[in-house]
Amino acid sequence: MLTGYTKGPADIQPLPGASRDTTPSRTPAAEAAGALAAYRAMWDDFAAAAKTSDASHPGLGAHASGAALQLLRHMMTKDREKDVVTRGRLRV
């Protein structure tokens, strides 16, 4: 991993104080486990909001953003319009 240089490409030198450590901070298995944990947490947040079909539930934005958050809020809004609430537990 190139951490910085002070001259042209032929004379690449690390910047003073720059680390030469090229060890990844997380392994692919740790990355996958983290992604799965965040995915499950998003659905737990959804389940909490679905108990009352609350599109403005503060938990919805804890683990979802962008289009995913918009979709979750849309689902809550549609359920609220139909007087639908969710009970039970999601299995992910």
Residue-wise pLDDT for 42-58, tens only, equals 999 999 999 999 999 99
Query: Which structure tokens are listed for 51?
Result: 């108990």
The pTM assigned to this predicted structure is 0.65
Q: Count Cβ neighbours within 10 Å for each residue of 43-72 and write b for 16 or more, e otherwise.
A: bbbbbbbbeebbbebebbeebbeeeebeeb
Query: What is the Cα gyration radius of the chain?
Result: 22
CA distance 92 to 86: 15
CA distance 12 to 60: 47
Is residue 12's pLDDT more than 60?
Answer: yes
Residue-wise pLDDT for 22-80, tens only, equals 666 779 999 999 999 999 999 999 999 999 999 999 999 999 999 999 999 999 999 99
